[in-house]
Amino acid sequence: MQTLQTGDMAPDFSLFDSLQKKHTLVDYREQWLILFFYPKDDTPGCTVEACQFKENYADILAMNVRLLGINTDKLESHAHFIKKFQLPFPLLSDPQGETSRQYGSLFKLGPVRFCKRHSFIINPQGQIAKIYRKVNPKNHSQQIIADLKTWQ
């Protein structure tokens, strides 16, 4: 599979959140979108990253940007994680890892599959504006906000 690059059209997806609402890429046309892939709900690094996004969520929304988290965990796991940390944004379940694979974010080891910590900024036309393959959970949301400000 060819690796995604800045300027490529973002792969479409159709995934459900913890409230069983379906999200597709087309739902976010005409606005900026952040997709962040993360390994596992309620683990130390993933909790830090999600809580940093929560702390900066008002700034993200103020720029008319939407935020979605994606991993291979089940909807019930997402619901628990959202409730435990009062996360204000949807977490999408990709149980087969198909969307994660299309974004180059799936790690498979035998029957075990989980997402790598990657993020993508998608512009209002559906193109990938920025790819983050090396993510520090402690400051990633601030890094994304700073990058978004250069386009706003």
Q: Cα–Cα distance between 67 and 53 in angstroms, integer? A: 9
H/E stretch holding 114 = strand 112-115
- Tell me if 7 is assigned to some domain: no
Asked if the model's pLDDT at residue 103 lies above 80, the reply is yes
CATH number of the CATH domain containing 46: 3.40.30.10
pLDDT at 2 over 90: no
Q: Specify the higher pLDDT residue, 13 or 151.
A: 13
Residue 60 lies in domain: 14-149
**Residue-wise pLDDT tens digits, 104-132:** 999 988 888 899 999 999 999 999 999 99
The answer as to whether 29 is a domain residue is yes
Residue 152 predicted with pLDDT over 80: no
Q: Is 26 helix (H, G, I), strand (E, B) or coil?
A: helix
Kindly report the three-state secondary structure assignment for every residue of 47-108.
HHHHHHHHHCHHHHHHCCEEEEEEECCCHHHHHHHHHHHCCCCCEEECCCCHHHHHCCCEEE
Q: Which residues are marked as active site?
A: 46
Residue range 59-72: average pLDDT? 96
In a domain, 42, yes or no: yes
- Domain assignment of residue 143, yes or no: yes
Is the per-residue pLDDT at 1 higher than 70? no
Count up the domains in the chain and report the number: 1
* Domain assignment present for 4: no
Residue 132's identity, in one-letter code, is Y
**Residues 7-51 pLDDT 10s:** 999 999 999 999 999 999 999 999 999 999 999 999 999 999 999
Give the pLDDT confidence score for residue 109 in this predicted structure: 81
Bridge-based pairing of strands 118-122 and 128-132 is antiparallel
pTM here?
Answer: 0.95
Using the predicted structure, report yes or no on whether residue 52 has a pLDDT greater than 80: yes
Which residues are bridge partners to 122 per DSSP?
33, 128
Query: Strands 14-17 and 22-24, how do they pair?
Result: antiparallel
